[in-house]
């Protein structure tokens, strides 16, 4: 009996304790729930107010759209006649020309004149404009329409097929608004960018936004033996006619020239590619300074990357087991004319250390015929500095 009384008393006391705890802690729980609700509300507000980003897009667009132009390029009647003559001459020299001749089927001179359109970026106040080689490379009759709709005739200053860049110039007394050139080396993956251009030939000053998806892309899309590809990849929408247009950062600075899209349909399907401004500025300045088309060349050497095994095999005397061992030199190449010999180890070009052939390719790729480079070689344990002038490949 005593045990039952004790159990009843204990249960009663326990109930009082639970009830007291409920009364004591209940306000705090309600307060905590209110705080969680407020925190969630604040988080939502933060997520749906991209005011700073929107303002940046607006300012970037304002700064850049006035510097992007539409380009229509075509062959003149004179160039068409010249190309027709060249075509007839090629047929005449073709040993199989008499067996299969398109003119027999279609009649007349089977030649299709070329024309096309794209975008361009004003580079200087006196009318120099950057665009793609594939937009104007074939043409000698070029019309530029600025952001205000005014039309100008332009001439081709020069092209660089290896980078798919070209420079044209408006001959006019007008003063133009050049775009500020940014530093593509500072661009980071995930950064917001704008693509500005004329995507279908009539939608002038069109702006699309996206992020940088990757840098340094090489896609083998430039059809040239010495193609130079380090594309900035972005998901900003780019369509036909955007070629030669601007890829800009949120400061309205040019960080790339839009060049290609990855698509199975011919229109934008997710990714597009731009030539970095670091390459653009180098190429454009070369074209403006020297005039005419840029011709890329190679050093003209073949061999092996230096490693410990190669050092032992040839008994090389090097400060470090790095460099490029020259086994053969092309006849009449820049290397031969500059004094390089088989057995030399290239250890430095223009003050930059050479560890392997990729380093040579990286240092030399933007050089052109006529440029001078300084090459340091190790020859039988002695270092020699050779001035080499680049020349046409034979």
pLDDT per residue over 301-330, tens digit each? 999 999 999 999 999 999 888 999 999 999
Query: Which of 161, 314, 304 is closest to 224 using CA atoms?
Result: 161
Respond yes or no: is residue 164 known to be catalytic. Answer: yes
- What confidence score (pLDDT) does residue 82 get? 84
Query: Which of 96, 68, 128, 88 is closest to 281 using CA atoms?
Result: 128
Helix/strand number for the chain, H first, E second: 9, 18
Query: Which of 118, 117, 121, 142 is closest to 130 using CA atoms?
Result: 121
- DSSP structural state of residue 178: P
Q: Which of 67, 119, 134, 277 is labelled catalytic? A: 134
Q: What is the pLDDT of residues 274-298, one digit of tens each?
A: 999 999 999 999 999 988 899 888 8
What span, in angstroms and rounded, lies between the C-alpha atoms of 306 and 316?
Answer: 10
Phi, psi of 349 (to 5 degrees): -135, 125
- What confidence score (pLDDT) does residue 36 get? 25
Helical ranges in the chain per DSSP H: 2-47, 51-65, 77-93, 102-106, 133-136, 277-290, 308-314, 334-338, 357-364
In order, the DSSP letters of 267-304 are S--SEEEEEEHHHHHHHHHHHHHH-S---B----EEEE
Q: pTM score, two decimals?
A: 0.76
What span, in angstroms and rounded, lies between the C-alpha atoms of 320 and 207?
Answer: 52
> What's the pLDDT band for 54 if we cut at 50, 70, 90?
low
Distances (CA, A) of 145 to 72, 75, 120, 151, 200: 8, 18, 10, 4, 14
Q: Which of 64, 184, 205, 243 is labelled catalytic? A: 243
Q: What is the pLDDT of residues 135-185, one digit of tens each?
A: 999 999 999 999 988 999 999 999 999 999 999 999 888 899 999 999 999
Does pLDDT of 20 surpass 70? Answer: no
Q: Residue 226 in 3-state DSSP?
A: coil
- What confidence score (pLDDT) does residue 77 get? 83
For residue 98, the tally of other CB atoms under 10 A from its CB is: 10
> What are residue 159's DSSP bridge partners?
166
Respond yes or no: is residue 243 known to be catalytic. Answer: yes
Q: Which of 141, 164, 344, 359 is labelled catalytic? A: 164
- Decide if 296 contacts 390 (C-beta within 8 A): no
What span, in angstroms and rounded, lies between the C-alpha atoms of 203 and 147?
Answer: 10
What span, in angstroms and rounded, lies between the C-alpha atoms of 296 and 133?
Answer: 15
Query: Which of 227, 275, 213 is closest to 247 using CA atoms?
Result: 275
Query: Which of 327, 326, 330, 333 is closest to 376 using CA atoms?
Result: 326
- Decide if 127 contacts 172 (C-beta within 8 A): yes
Q: Provide the mean pLDDT of the chain.
A: 82
Q: 270 vs 164, which has greater pLDDT?
A: 164
């Amino acid at each position: 009996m005593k045990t039952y009384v004790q159990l009843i008393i204990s249960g009663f006391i326990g109930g009082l304790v639970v009830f007291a705890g409920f009364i004591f802690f209940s306000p705090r729980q309600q307060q905590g729930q209110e705080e969680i609700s407020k925190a969630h509300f604040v988080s939502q507000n933060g997520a749906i107010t991209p005011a700073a980003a929107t303002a940046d897009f607006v300012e970037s667009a304002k700064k850049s759209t006035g510097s992007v132009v539409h380009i229509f390029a075509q062959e003149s009647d004179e160039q068409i006649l010249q190309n027709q003559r060249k075509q007839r001459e090629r047929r005449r020299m073709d040993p199989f020309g008499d067996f299969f001749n398109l003119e027999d089927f279609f009649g007349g001179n089977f030649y299709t004149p070329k024309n096309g359109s794209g975008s361009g970026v004003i580079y200087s106040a006196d009318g120099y404009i950057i665009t793609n080689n594939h937009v104007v490379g074939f043409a000698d009759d070029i019309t530029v329409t600025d952001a205000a709709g005014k039309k100008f005739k332009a001439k081709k200053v020069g092209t660089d097929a290896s980078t798919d860049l070209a420079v044209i110039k408006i001959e006019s007394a007008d003063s133009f608004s050049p775009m500020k050139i940014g530093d593509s080396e500072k661009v980071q993956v995930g950064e917001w960018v704008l693509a500005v251009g004329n995507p279908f030939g009539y939608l002038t000053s069109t702006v699309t936004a996206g992020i940088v998806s990757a840098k340094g892309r090489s896609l083998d899309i430039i059809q040239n033996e010495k193609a130079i590809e380090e594309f900035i990849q972005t998901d900003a929408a780019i369509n036909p006619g955007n070629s030669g247009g601007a890829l800009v950062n949120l400061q309205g600075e040019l960080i790339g020239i839009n060049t290609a899209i990855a698509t199975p349909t011919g229109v934008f399907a997710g990714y597009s590619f731009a030539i970095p401004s670091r390459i653009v500025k180098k190429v454009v300045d070369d074209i403006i300074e020297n005039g005419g088309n840029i011709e890329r060349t190679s050093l003209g050497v073949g061999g092996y990357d230096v490693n410990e095994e190669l050092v032992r095999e040839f008994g090389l005397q090097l400060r470090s087991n790095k460099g490029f061992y020259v086994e053969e030199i092309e006849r009449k190449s820049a290397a031969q004319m500059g004094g390089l010999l088989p057995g030399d180890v290239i250890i430095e070009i223009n003050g930059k250390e050479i560890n392997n052939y990729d380093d040579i390719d990286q240092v030399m790729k933007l050089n052109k015929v006529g440029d001078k480079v300084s090459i340091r070689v190790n020859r039988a344990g002695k270092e020699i500095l050779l001035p080499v002038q680049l020349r046409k490949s034979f």
